[in-house]
Amino acid sequence: MATEEQLVDLNNKVYGVDHNYKKNGDLYQNIDEGQTITVAGKKFQVISTSNDEQLGSAMYREPLPNGGYRDVPYTTNDSLGFSGMAVAPINKGVVDYGNVTVVAAATNPASPADLQGAVQSIFGNSTQYDVAERYLLKLMKAHPDWQINQLSGYSQSSYMLKIGAKYHIPTTVFHGWFNYNTLTKAERTYMNAHMA
Question: What is the tens place of the pLDDT at every residue in 155-189?
Answer: 777 889 989 999 999 999 887 767 777 888 999 89
- How high is the pLDDT of residue 139? 96
**Torsion of Cα atoms, 52 then 76 then 137 then 107, to 10°:** 100
- How high is the pLDDT of residue 20? 75
Structural domain of 135: 4-193
- How high is the pLDDT of residue 54? 40
- How high is the pLDDT of residue 96? 98
Q: Which residues of the chain have pLDDT under 70?
A: 25, 27, 52-64, 68-81, 108-126, 177
Tell me how many domains the chain contains: 1
Closest CA to 95 of 40, 139, 47: 47
- How high is the pLDDT of residue 77? 46
How many Cα atoms within 13 Å fall on the side-chain side of residue 188? 8
Q: In b/e form, how buried is each residue of 9-39, taking b as 16+ CB within 10 angstroms? A: bbbbbbbbbbeebeeeeeebeebeeebebeb
Q: What is the Cα–Cα distance from 141 to 136, expressed in whole angstroms? A: 9
- How high is the pLDDT of residue 179? 73
Neighbour tally for 135: CB within 10 Å: 24
